[in-house]
Amino acid sequence: GAVVSQHPSWVICKSGTSVKIECRSLDFQATTMFWYRQFPKQSLMLMATSNEGSKATYEQGVEKDKFLINHASLTLSTLTVTSAHPEDSSFYICSASLVGGTEAFFGQGTRLTVV
Amino acid sequence: QKEVEQNSGPLSVPEGAIASLNCTYSDRVSQSFFWYRQYSGKSPELIMSIYSNGDKEDGRFTAQLNKASQYVSLLIRDSQPSDSATYLCAVYNNNDMRFGAGTRLTVKP
C-alpha cells in the first residue's frame, strides 16, 4: 500500500514554544491530507483538511491561528502547533488521500508532550 | 452534522470465534467506507474498504455494507489474540473522512 511518513514520531517541548510536524506521502501524490488529534482512549478527531495549494479547512473549535497547516506540494503537509501549552499534549496523526482515490493512508503519528 | 456511530465495547470473544463489529453513519451520500485497526499507541492501519452494497471478503475479514440502512459491519472469523485492538469505522465523502469512536475488541486465548 501507499506509504505516508510522519516526522517526528515524538517530541517534548516547553510551554510557549512552537512545534512543526511533517507529513509526507512517499510513493504517491496526495491532493488531500487530513490532520487528526487523538487523546488517550478517545477516537481520532479531525482537526483540518488541507488541499495542495489552498488554505486548509478547519473543523469547528480548532483554532487556525494556533494550528498552522501548510500543504505546499502534493507530497508534503506540515502542522505547526504555535505557542504550545500542556493541554495541546496529544497524539497527532496525518493521513493522505491518493489523487483521484478515496482511501486514506496514515502516518505513524506524533506524540507531543508539552511541559 | 455528519456522524459515525460505533459501539465502544469492549467486545470480548474467545479465540476461534467470530467477532462482529457494527457501524452506522448519518450522511446518506457517503461514498466509501473503511475499517481501520489501531493498536494501543500506534497509528490506525487500513484493513478493509467497501464501496458498494453487499459483502466483501478478504481472508478472515468480511465487510458488509447496506447503504439503505446506512450500516456497515466487519466480521472477523477465527479470531486470534493478535486481533485484539480498537477497530475504527471510517466514512468518506467528498474529501471528508469521519471516524467512529472505535470498538475495542479483546480475543481471549
pLDDT digits (tens, 9 = 90+) for A34-60: 999 998 878 888 899 888 888 899 999
pLDDT value of position B53 = 95
Each residue's pLDDT tens digit, B38-89: 998 888 888 999 999 999 999 999 999 999 999 999 999 999 999 999 999 9
Contacts of B31 in chain A (CB under 8 A): 102
What confidence category does residue A61 fall into, taking pLDDT thresholds of 50, 70 and 90?
A: very high
Contacts of A3 in chain B (CB under 8 A): none
pLDDT at A10 over 90: yes
Residue A77 vs residue A1, higher pLDDT = A77
> Nearest-CA neighbor of A110 among A6, A40, A24, A3?
A6
Residue A8 vs residue A1, higher pLDDT = A8
Residue of A nearest to B1 (CA): A60
> What share of chain B in percent tops pLDDT 90?
72
Q: From the candidates B39, B43, B87, B89, which should be mutated to test the interface with A, based on the most A CB atoms within 10 A?
A: B43
Contact B88, B4 (CB under 8 A): no
Q: How far off is chain A from B21, nearest CA to CA, in Å?
A: 16
pLDDT at B23 over 80: yes
